[in-house]
Amino acid sequence: MLVSSKDLILQARKKKYAIGSFNFSNLETLKAIISAGEKLKSPLIVSTTEKAIAYAKVEYLSALAQKAAAQSPLPIVLNLDHGKSLETVSLCLENGYTSVMIDSSHLPFKNNITITKQVVELAHRQNVPVEGELGELGTQSFTDVSQVRQFVEQTGVDFLAVALGSAHGVQKEEHLNLEILEEITKQTTIPLVLHGGSGLPDEDIKQAIRKGICKINIDTDIRTAFKQGLKEGLAKDESDFREILKFSIEDMIKVVEDKIKLFGSENKA
């Protein structure tokens, strides 16, 4: 069933685990995510980026997610990941998204506050929670701890994505600055989110969860598994693309299962 992210994430924070936010842009990826979640009885957040929306259209993605959620016993969230404008957020809300993220972290601090607050006001009118971001991912400019309290109080965001040293994609020698995370938790009580979860050492992720992270985004690892499975499928003497894509689905299921176990959300649905 399709649900709001707020209660799920608050429960994750209370019980010291994290919920995976897994990106999809096609049927095969969504099927893999749902299959892994159902096998391990884990709540799920399925997310789409603006690039995914440009590729597959928000109406198609929403219809896929809503139908999958309606047929599943799991609590499933449909989330906008890294929305860049009020227009994109509005479009997603119109199409049944149950969680949205606005990412204005690349803008000056005051502009970030202004735009994030506008999104919060819009989404909260429909009882949809909002994630904001403070600190740019992958730039080595970590979240400024001194700005956290003001940002949260003036925007009214439900969750905060923080920059701790991770990056989109898989980078060499990625590690999290857990000292900054500890300082952030002293400034706010709202749930904290980690982006760029692919490529991080497992121990860093476990430590981050123990110190307050309760939502973790995964994209690159899933796309890498899709590509590897596709290579396996194309190597077979097979002309039916549905049979070929089964290899991609199987490889993606393994990745999502591993992340669910790592995050501690198994048997939490």
What are the catalytic residues? 81
Give the span between the Cα atoms of 56 and 38, in whole angstroms: 25
95 known member of a binding site: no
133 known member of a binding site: yes
220 known member of a binding site: yes
103 known member of a binding site: yes
Q: Which residue has the tokens 């949205």?
A: 100
Q: Which residue has the tokens 């440009």?
A: 54
- Which residues sit opposite 192 in a β-bridge? 160, 213
- N- to C-terminal Cα separation, the chain: 11
Q: 230 Cβ partners below 8 Å, 6+ apart?
A: 244, 245, 247, 248
219 known member of a binding site: yes
Q: Which residue has the tokens 């649900």?
A: 3
> Which ranges in 41-85 belong to alpha helices (H)?
50-56, 58-70
* The pair of three-digit structure tokens given for residue 182, joined into one six-digit string: 């500890």
Give the span between the Cα atoms of 169 and 154, in whole angstroms: 31
DSSP state of 213: E
Q: Which residues of 57-84 are buried (b: 16+ CB within 10 A; e: fewer)?
A: ebeebbebbbebbeebebbbbbbbbbbe
Give the span between the Cα atoms of 104 and 43, in whole angstroms: 28
218 known member of a binding site: yes
- Annotated binding residues for dihydroxyacetone phosphate, written as ranges, equal 169, 196-198, 217-220
- Annotated binding residues for Zn(2+), written as ranges, equal 82, 103, 133, 168, 195
